[in-house]
Structure 1
C-alpha cells in the first residue's frame, strides 16, 4: 500500500467519528415527532429528550482529554464507537421497560458521551498523522463526515418514516430510526482496530521507535526522521518544569483563544438552524408540513456541497481568509432572512438567506474551526486544551439550542419591531465578533508543521 492510500484510509476511518457525530445528533430530529406521540410527552419532556444528548457531549468532551493522554487517540475513539453502538441499540428499547422515557434519556446521554469523546479525538488524531501541506484538507474530512452523517440520517429517517403508516411510526418506526445507527457505529468500531496509534502520542509516551515506524509509512524515511526530531524537541522541558503549568499566562492565553473560537462557532446560530430547521420553515417561512422534510434535505445537501469547497480551498487560501469570506456570507444570509421577516415579506429571499448562511458556514466556521483547534495547540497541552475547547463548544451548543426557542417565542421578538427576526440579528453580532477575534488572535497555520505552529506562541 502506498503512502497516499495509507494516509487516506486511516483518515477516512477516523473521520467516521464525525459521521456518527452528525448521524447521532440528526437522528433525534427525525424520531422525536413520533416518539413524542408514543410517550405522550409535553413540551418540557420533549425538550429534555432531544437535548439530553448534549449533556453527554459536554461530559464526554471533558473526559476526552484525560482518556486521550492515558490511552491514546485510537483507543479513545474505540471507546466512543462502543458508546455509539450501545446508545443506538438501547434507544430503541425503552417501551419494553417501566420508566421508559428515563431509560431513553440515559441511552441518549450515552450517545452524547460518544460524540463528546469523538469530537475531540478524531480531528486531533487526523492532524497528528497528516503532512503539513495537506493537513487542512485531511482534517476537513472530519467536518465532511459530520455533514454526510446529517444528510444520510435525514434520508434514512425519511425512507423509514415513509415506508410505514403514521400509526406504525408512532408504535415502532422511531425505534428503527435509532437502530439504523448501528450500521455505521459497528463499522467504525471494527475498522478502528486496523488504524495505527498517533505518532505524537507515542513520542509523548517515550515510544519513539513505534512512532518512527508509523511516520515512515505516512511520510517516507527522510521526512519521518526529520519530523520525529521536531516532535521530540517540542516535548523537551527543563527538569524544573516536568509538569505543564496550565495556569501560566502563555498557556492559559492559548487555551482561552482556542476556546473562544470554538464557542463562537456555535454562536453563529448554525445549530439553531439545523436543530430547529423544521420549525423555522413552518413558522417563520410559512412552508407547509409536507414541504418541511424536502427543505431539510436541501439544507443538508447545501451543507455537504460547500464542505467540499472548503476541503479543496483550506490549504490553498488558508484558514483565516476562509473565515473572513464565510463570515461575510453568513451575515448576508441572515440579513436577507432577518429583513424579510422584519418587513413581513417572507418568501424565496428568506429561503435564499438560509441557504446562503448554511453554504457560508460550511466553507468556513464549520470545517476551519476543527482544523485550527486540532493544530494550534502545542504538543504538550494539545489533549487538555482541545478537551476544554470542545467541552466549551458543547456548552455553547446547549445554550444556543435552549435559548433559541425562548427568544423566538418572546414578546420582544414577536413585537411589531422585530416580527420574528431578533435571533438572526443577534447571531449577526456574534459573527462580526468572529472576524475581530480571527484578525487579532488567530495564527495562520497553512503549510506549517505542528511544531512550527507551536513556535508562533513563543514569539
Structure 2
C-alpha cells in the first residue's frame, strides 16, 4: 500500500511539474501574440496625427494601415515554409527581430513611403508570429487543455492591444496636440522595440516543438519534451501516435494537400479565416477613436474609450480560455456569430440617428467586442492550429492564414472609403450580414475538435477510425 501511495504521489508531482513547465513555455511563446497585438493596435492612436503630419487622404490612410496586412500575407507564406524546415522556435526568433526592426523604421519615418515600408516589415513579423505562436502552443499542449493554452495566444494579442491603447492614451493626454502630431506618434511606434527584444531573448529558454522534432526523426528529443509535459505513459502513447500520423503522409505536399480529407479541412480553414475578418472587429479596432469622435466624444475621451475596449478584450479572452475546452469551439462560434450580427445591426441604426447617442454607440462597440473575443477572436486560431496533419501543418496553416490576412487587408484598406461613401449605418450592416453567414456555416460545416488529440482530428478528416486514450 505504501508503494502504491508513493507511486500516486510521484505521478501527482510529475503532473504538477508538467503543468508548470508547459505553462512557462506557453507564456513565452504567446509573447509573439503580444507583439502581434501591439503592432496592429498602435495605428489606431497614430492615424489622426499621421493624417495631419503627412496630409494623407482617406485612401492613403487606408494604405498606411493596411500595409501591415500586406506584409503579414508575405509573412505567413514564409512562416509556413520556415516553420516546416528551420523549425517553430527559430522562426519565432526571426519574428522577434523583425518586430524590433519595424518599430525602429516607423518611429523614425520621415515620409509616407517609409511609414508604409516600416508597417509592411512589421506585417512580416506579425505573419510569422500569428502562424507559429498558436501552432507551436498547440503542438506542445496536452489535449485536454489545448484550447485553453492556444487561447493564451489570443490573450497575449489583446493584452498587446490593451497595452498600446494605454500607451497611446498616455502620450496623447500628457502632451500638446502639436507635439503629438510631430513626435508623439513616433513614441507610439518606437515603444514596440521593448517587447520585441524581450520576446527574442526569452525564446532561448523554450524547447523546439516535439511534433516538429518527430518530423525530423529526432524521436528521443521529442519524447523528452512530451515526457516533461505529460509524463512517461502518455508521452509514449502520444509519440507513437505522432509517428503513425507522420508515416501516413507519404505523398508530395501538393498531392497530400488536395487529398479528399485534407482538401475539405483546408477549405473550411480558409473560409473560417476569411470570416473572422468580416466580423467587423478590425474595422472597429483600427478606427475606434475616429468612430467615437464621430459619435460625439472629444479627442482625449475617444482615446480613453478605446482603452476600455482593450481592457474588455483582455477580460473576455480570459473567460474564453476558461470555457473553450468545456463549451467546445463550435458552440461558442455559432452563438456569438449571431450575437455580433445583432449588435452590428443596432450599431448601424445608432449611426443613422439625427442625434447620435455616444453611450449607445460605446455600449454596442463593447458588446460586439465581448462576443468576438468569446468566439471568433481566439476560436478561429484554435481551430486552425488543430485541423491539419503534423507533417504539413505549417504550410497548410500558412494558406489559411494568408487568406485571413488578405481579408484583413481588404477591411483595413476599404473600411475608411466605405465609411465615407455609404456611411456608418450601411457599413455596419454589411458586416452584420457576414456574421449571419458565418454562424450558419460554422453550424453546418465544421465539426467539434475539443478534447481530441491532433492526430485523432487528422484521422477524422481522413475518414480513419484511429482511437486513443489521450482523447479521453
TM-score band by shorter chain is over 0.9
Q: Does the CA contact (< 8 Å) of 2:36 and 2:130 recur in 1?
A: yes
Distance 1:242 1:46, change over 3 A: closer
Distance in 2 between residues matched to 1:39 and 1:407, nearest whole Å: 22
Partner residue in 1 for 2:333: 323
Deviates more, 1:83-92 or 1:345-354: 345-354
Q: Name the Cα RMSD after superposition.
A: 1.8
Distance 1:237 1:454, change over 3 A: closer
Compute the displacement of 1:340 (Å): 2.7
Taking the TM superposition and a 5 Å limit, the aligned residue runs for 1:167-246 are: 167-237=178-248, 241=251, 243=253, 245=255, 246=257
| Equivalent residue for 1:14, pick from 14, 24, 29 | 29
Q: Does the CA contact (< 8 Å) of 2:262 and 2:388 recur in 1?
A: no
Deviates more, 1:81-90 or 1:44-53: 44-53
Partner residue in 2 for 1:341: 351
Distance in 1 between residues matched to 2:338 and 2:253, nearest whole Å: 42
Distance 1:103 1:242, change over 3 A: closer
Q: Does the CA contact (< 8 Å) of 1:27 and 1:177 recur in 2?
A: yes
Is residue 113 of structure 1 aligned with residue 124 of structure 2?
Answer: yes
Q: TM-score, normalised by structure 1?
A: 0.93
| Equivalent residue for 1:438, pick from 442, 446, 469 | 442
Distance in 1 between residues matched to 2:360 and 2:157, nearest whole Å: 27
Compute the displacement of 1:227 (Å): 0.3
Distance 1:47 1:238, change over 3 A: closer
Q: Does the CA contact (< 8 Å) of 1:27 and 1:154 recur in 2?
A: yes
Partner residue in 2 for 1:417: none
Q: TM-score, normalised by structure 2?
A: 0.90
Distance in 2 between residues matched to 1:170 and 1:181, nearest whole Å: 19
Structure with bigger helix share is: 2
Partner residue in 1 for 2:454: 450
Partner residue in 2 for 1:272: 283
Partner residue in 2 for 1:50: 65
Taking the TM superposition and a 5 Å limit, the aligned residue runs for 1:118-137 are: 118-137=129-148
Distance 1:135 1:36, change over 3 A: same
Partner residue in 2 for 1:370: 381
Deviates more, 1:420-429 or 1:214-223: 420-429
Q: Does the CA contact (< 8 Å) of 1:244 and 1:380 recur in 2?
A: no
Per-residue CA shift, 1:270-322, capped at 9, x if unaligned?
Answer: 10111111222222x23233421121112112222111111100011111111
Taking the TM superposition and a 5 Å limit, the aligned residue runs for 1:401-440 are: 401-410=412-421, 413-414=422-423, 420-440=424-444
Distance in 1 between residues matched to 2:216 and 2:26, nearest whole Å: 22
Distance 1:243 1:86, change over 3 A: closer
Distance in 2 between residues matched to 1:205 and 1:421, nearest whole Å: 53
Deviates more, 1:327-336 or 1:176-185: 327-336
Secondary structure at the residue paired with 1:236?
Answer: helix
Per-residue CA shift, 1:122-176, capped at 9, x if unaligned?
Answer: 0000000000000000000000111100100011122223333333323322222
Compute the displacement of 1:244 (Å): 5.4
Distance in 1 between residues matched to 2:435 and 2:57, nearest whole Å: 34
Distance in 2 between residues matched to 1:50 and 1:425, nearest whole Å: 23
Compute the displacement of 1:34 (Å): 2.6
Secondary structure at the residue paired with 2:248?
Answer: coil
Q: Does the CA contact (< 8 Å) of 1:333 and 1:355 recur in 2?
A: no
Q: After TM superposition, where is structure 1 displaced by more than 6 Å over at least 4 residues in a row? A: none
Compute the displacement of 1:50 (Å): 2.4
Deviates more, 1:421-430 or 1:346-355: 346-355
Partner residue in 2 for 1:91: 106
Q: Does the CA contact (< 8 Å) of 1:336 and 1:349 recur in 2?
A: no
Distance in 2 between residues matched to 1:35 and 1:349, nearest whole Å: 29
Per-residue CA shift, 1:243-294, capped at 9, x if unaligned?
Answer: 55123333222111111001100011110111111222222x2323342112
Distance 1:42 1:340, change over 3 A: closer
Q: Count matched residues.
A: 446
| Equivalent residue for 2:83, pick from 36, 57, 68 | 68
Distance in 1 between residues matched to 2:435 and 2:457, nearest whole Å: 25
Compute the displacement of 1:37 (Å): 3.0
Is residue 78 of structure 1 aligned with residue 93 of structure 2?
Answer: yes
Q: Does the CA contact (< 8 Å) of 2:84 and 2:392 recur in 1?
A: no
| Equivalent residue for 2:342, pick from 307, 321, 332 | 332
| Equivalent residue for 2:390, pick from 379, 385, 388 | 379
| Equivalent residue for 2:365, pick from 350, 354, 360 | 354
Compute the displacement of 1:344 (Å): 4.0
Distance in 2 between residues matched to 1:268 and 1:44, nearest whole Å: 22
